[in-house]
Amino acid sequence: MPSPDKPKGKNNNRKQTFDSICRTILFDISRRYGVHLEQEPSYGGRDYLEKQDFIIEKQKKILSAQGEALTKNTIAIAEQEKRFDKAVKAVSEKEKELEKQEGLIEEKEQELSEKQSALATVTMKIADIESLVEEVADTAYEKACEVVADTVRAETQKEDIRVVEDYKKWLASPERKAPQEKRDFAVKCLGTV
């Protein structure tokens, strides 16, 4: 080490010392052969940047790229927010429309319920009317049967009376050979019928 009493570091190490001696030997040899080399390097351009300058430039490029990416991301986020706002508006409109539809459905269900109850009432009335019609029909049938039976009976009685009257005339006619008393008795018996 060039300075053994100082701690080992950037300017106090074996490589630094070796490089310094090699540089001195190189410059001596180049002077002997007439080649001119610059003793102090000139800095400039990207290739000759100091390490810190190189790091800073690289970080600037990275920051610039990140800034561009951030700008693109910000624009994309803004577009996404716009789309999201549109979607939220569309959803809220759909919700309002759905609420209206639900209200209409409730109204229709209420109307349907009222109509079903009215239908049930009408059905009960129709059933009552049908049972009343059946009772009336049964009663009318019975009355009709009674009337027909009475009519048949009356006609039968008239016919019987006519037949009896015919027998009476036949018995009362003088062509009969039976004695008059028996014929009068038979006519009298037929008259009581």
Model confidence pLDDT, tens digit, residues 67-85: 999 999 999 999 999 999 9
Q: Is 11 helix (H, G, I), strand (E, B) or coil?
A: coil
Distance between CA atoms of residues 164 and 157, nearest Å: 10
Model confidence pLDDT, tens digit, residues 124-151: 999 999 999 999 999 999 999 999 999 9
Among the ranges given (28-32, 98-102, 174-178), the one the predictor scored with the smallest mean pLDDT: 174-178
User: Where do the structural domains in the chain lie, given as residue ranges?
Assistant: 1-40
The pTM of the whole model exceeds 0.85? no
Report whether pLDDT(91) > 80: yes
Q: What share of the chain is helix, strand, coil (3-state, %, to 5)?
A: 80, 0, 20
DSSP-derived secondary structure for 65-124: HHHHHHHHHHHHHHHHHHHHHHHHHHHHHHHHHHHHHHHHHHHHHHHHHHHHHHHHHHHH
